[in-house]
Structure 1
């Protein structure tokens, strides 16, 4: 009997050790990291990712309702799925290699026990990338506050939030910068007005954080209507990829050449920083038409707020291949910190003074 009891104990221990451990929901930071990893996997292998976002109504979330719903999510997950809390408290489920219809099936299974009405969970499915076409994926889903539509909600989902301290530094730095730059801006505005026909300021639509579009402000350095002639000059661009750069652009006025050489034309973007559309440090925002031509992995640069300066501005301004430019932006995203921002700001002035290439 002793031998039988020992064998029975060994069998129970082996059975227990072979069980799959209970799944636990990821924290907001863990879930965000898992989502970014899944996005990179999709960019590499060309598959798809569905993200199911679930918002519990207050009555359902009260008491132990939220815990019970979390348990039902854990029971429904496949081994390849991940689930967790979002920063805003909602539930999120990552469903790799799952079409939109499959994600809605998961949503239906999770919500089946709840009576339709005010107490039923509210679900949303985001598909990355949207295989129905660029126009569908980039259709307006809101408004930026200035009449400029936002873009794909799936890209906005992957956007990374900046720290409150970074925003404080942006506001203080942009305010101080505008105060110091005001005499220079006034002189530049006078020179533009006296030497060429047209407005002093130039607004251009760019893509920013999460693909959100905004109007970036610059001093006008080209003659009026210059954009209409860009197609004729496209073959002469000195920058590969979707970006257009030309050192001796015939559309630039003689005053504009000096403003570009000293980067004075970029100073009005301090106003975009104050508006919260840009940061002092971050990937340079591309014109919308150029940004939409970027490959999926290149559009990961939109995960953070665009900025006045970044690694590319300092080390490779217009003299490196476009792919290398994007890798510099992704390097910044990996290394970003307040200290690193200060280092890049300190390196920007000498890079402008001694920089090469078209601007």
Structure 2
């Protein structure tokens, strides 16, 4: 392969590869990609073994539970075949496809589909062939397999996440293709959420952009132009190409790129121009060979909103009954530890800009609002928020309450009154709303929440821009399943107390 000449003038012709970074004809880069995929194959093999073991354990437990009843031939056959049938059902439902593992709910969804399909198949076959399989045994074994397998897959996934965060293991090496700003945004997001398992190792820029060695904001080397993607992948040892939205890469160019990457076992992912829209809102609609992405409107009203309202109020009422002793103890402790009332009342902005009085346990001294002006100069946050890690206005008991979010518990009364929801954007102050501009007002089309994506994503550690983007992502992709996921993750976020101050 002839060496390209060095062009120093800007914005002159782009030099595809700096002299010290040329593709290795020996194929060492291809070997690195094979090594990168090797851990995925080992993980899938271990997952198959765990799934089979889970079926054995669930079968043994069901057998022991039905030990008092005579064993039939049908029960014996099912017990012997269940591990094989379970693994086969998971394989048919593509629960071993690596694109569905590690991140996202699709793995659990496909595992659930396999459990339902296997249960239906056993019921139909046993009825059609007149097999003597006790219904009680089936009712214990098959749900036991499904629940135990979901638990094991969750544990294995979290094990991978911890390795990715702590030691950067099990990561995909990504070659990003697009403009500098989207690449920088993607790199920061992947670095902040390393459990996704993707790390940008290089970039290819549009042909008309000035030459640069690196994208300085994120310290990512530039390997060439759009036409150099295949060589850049070989050189960087990347196993994934991420194409960000840009007009230069149309459908024809993307198809050619896919053909070029086909033989090298490199994954190709394409980021659409519409950001922060979750999968349930998007479907592919082919029109004469052209895949159009159909985007549903956000569900801001209707039956599911009524269901959310009923769930919020019923859950808040039940929680207040169960937590009443704790609320009384905290209230008494606040009154004894510092002067002032136990509850702090403040005006906040709710749905459609309507104001309401939010209730919180008082975690600051009574003169906190008067002292805010003198502390503005030492604000540690950007944008319209005010946050300090060592805020002198916070009492000793208040620091402990904030650490575990116990100061937020009185907001259950706001949820019960219909002013807030269990899950939603952070309730803003009127002074903050007055500074909103453009898209930020979109946060106000839903009720604010006692918890939300902002709380399980870092809370006060987030920048203003990140907080807004996360709140807008929730508004655009709200669902009952998402609410359940956020409530589940809130428990762990409160225990870790990350970003709570």
Range of TM-score over shorter length: 0.5 to 0.7
Q: Does 2:222 align with 1:222? A: no
Q: Give ranges in structure 1 of 5+ residues lacking alignment.
A: 1-157
Q: Give ranges in structure 2 of 5+ residues lacking alignment.
A: 1-297
**1:296 deviation in Å?**
2.4
**1:358 deviation in Å?**
4.4
Query: SS in structure 2 opposite 1:175?
Result: helix
Query: SS in structure 2 opposite 1:226?
Result: coil
**1:298 deviation in Å?**
1.0
Aligned partner of 2:374 among 232, 239, 255:
232
2:467 matched residue in structure 1: 325
Query: Which structure exhibits the higher relative contact order, with contacts defined as CA atoms closer than 8 Å and separated by 6 or more residues?
Result: 1
**What per-residue deviation string (whole Å, max 9, x for no partner) do you get for residues 250-290 of structure 1?**
01111111111111110000000011100000001011112
1:352 matched residue in structure 2: 494
Aligned length: 202
User: 1: CA distance between counterparts of 2:390 and 2:406?
Assistant: 18
Q: Does 2:466 align with 1:335? A: no
Query: SS in structure 2 opposite 1:297?
Result: helix
* C-alpha contact (below 8 Å) 1:218/1:267 kept by paired residues: yes
Q: Does 2:425 align with 1:280? A: no
TM-score (norm 2): 0.39
Q: Give the CA RMSD over aligned residues.
A: 1.6
2:395 matched residue in structure 1: 253
Query: SS in structure 1 opposite 2:455?
Result: helix
* C-alpha contact (below 8 Å) 2:350/2:419 kept by paired residues: yes
**1:161 deviation in Å?**
3.6
TM-score (norm 1): 0.54
1:296 matched residue in structure 2: 438
Alignment of 1:48-197 (within 5 A): 160-161=300-301, 163-197=305-339
User: 2: CA distance between counterparts of 1:207 and 1:302?
Assistant: 8
Query: SS in structure 1 opposite 2:422?
Result: strand
Query: SS in structure 2 opposite 1:357?
Result: coil
Query: SS in structure 1 opposite 2:428?
Result: coil
Higher-Rg structure is 2
* C-alpha contact (below 8 Å) 1:246/1:358 kept by paired residues: no
User: 2: CA distance between counterparts of 1:305 and 1:241?
Assistant: 22
1:204 matched residue in structure 2: 346
Query: SS in structure 1 opposite 2:366?
Result: coil
* C-alpha contact (below 8 Å) 1:159/1:210 kept by paired residues: no
